[in-house]
Amino acid sequence: PRLGRGSPMEAIQESFQKVEKIGEGTYGVVYKARNKRTGQLVALKKIRLDTESEGVPSTAIREISLLKELKHPNIVRLLDVIHSQKKLYIVFEYLNQDLKKYMDSCQAGELPLSLVKNYLFQLLQGVSFCHSHRVIHRDLKPQNLLINEAGAIKLADFGLARAFGVPLRTYTHEVVVTLWYRAPEILLGCRYYSTPVDIWSIGCIFAEMMTRKALFPGDSEIDQLFQIFRTLGTPTEVTWPGVTQLPDYKGSFPRWPRKEMKDIVPNLDRDGRDLLTQLLLYDPSKRISAKAALNHKYFLCRNSGSPEQRPVLRRDCR
């Protein structure tokens, strides 16, 4: 991490021209900015720090520095870290749209099946790379999957959860952490979760790309669990050994039967349904890994680079 000459504000003003505010993310305000020297567009994240704390935690600086080494075509590149005692800015490569906005803006039916397959493959490549470097995301959702016209999809904010924790609300008390993509082991209070939590999120995102509706749109932690149970059946010691020992498991949970995968995602073929089933297994130790998912037969037919595998960001999706 580099310390700008003087304050980080001076370093930011020296190096970047802010173009516009593009959002309030999980960790603070995000600006679109231009590097004054190179003309390159970047996303500038001003990290919100806990005012009671002692300023920028050194652990956070270390974690963020490690993320500069995560170089992969499906990971949003962390370009620089600028910090002082009290302020922290992270500079990322800029992409002009996220998957949620793209899905919301395309009114005409479902996403092309080949685009969904291509996006899923790229997401699994990015996640597999991060998991092989022992980095977990913990908060994957369509809002932090960024896309471009060339058909690339990239994971944003990888590793930030470990550096800063996942805050529940912004300064303006807007809830930023959606529960919709959260794995059941986290919802049931498991303290030692690992890489399978990201796999669950990817399963939820896969289903949503297919149906254009969130798979489990819960509005509280208990509602989130019950949304999952109503669809996949209430877990038991048979379907998930050890579930009854988790801190927030209750013997009084209603017993819902499991729905058929073909009723959940009717337009997905058999191989796709098989992969989705393995991404959404209750038992984290049995849930498929990103690496294994990349070798699933669903991806045997993949014509990467064909026109229908690129999103139309300009014409019909504004």
CA–CA dist 287, 131 (Å, integer): 14
List the catalytic residue out of 98, 139, 157, 198. Answer: 139
**CA of residue 82 relative to chain centroid, distance:** 24
CA 229/CA 276 separation, integer angstroms: 16
Active site residue 219: no
DSSP string, the chain: -BPPSS-HHHHHHHHEEEEEEEEEETTEEEEEEEETTT--EEEEEEE---TTS-SS-HHHHHHHHHHTT---TTB--EEEEEE-SS-EEEEEE--SEEHHHHHHH--SSSPPHHHHHHHHHHHHHHHHHHHHTT---S---GGGEEE-TTS-EEE-STTHHHHH---SB-TT--B---STT--HHHHTT-SS--THHHHHHHHHHHHHHHHSS-SS--SSHHHHHHHHHHHH----TTTSTTGGGSTT--TTS--PPBPPHHHHSTTS-HHHHHHHHHHT-SSTTTSPPHHHHHTSGGGSS--TT-GGGS---SSS--
Q: How far apart are CA 266 and CA 264, in angstroms?
A: 6
> Across the strands, what pairs with 78?
92
Confirm or deny that 45 is annotated as ligand binding. Answer: yes
Whose CA is closest to 140, among 104, 170, 178?
Answer: 178
Residue stretches of the annotated binding site: 45
Q: Which residues are catalytic?
A: 139
Residue stretches of the annotated binding site for ATP: 45
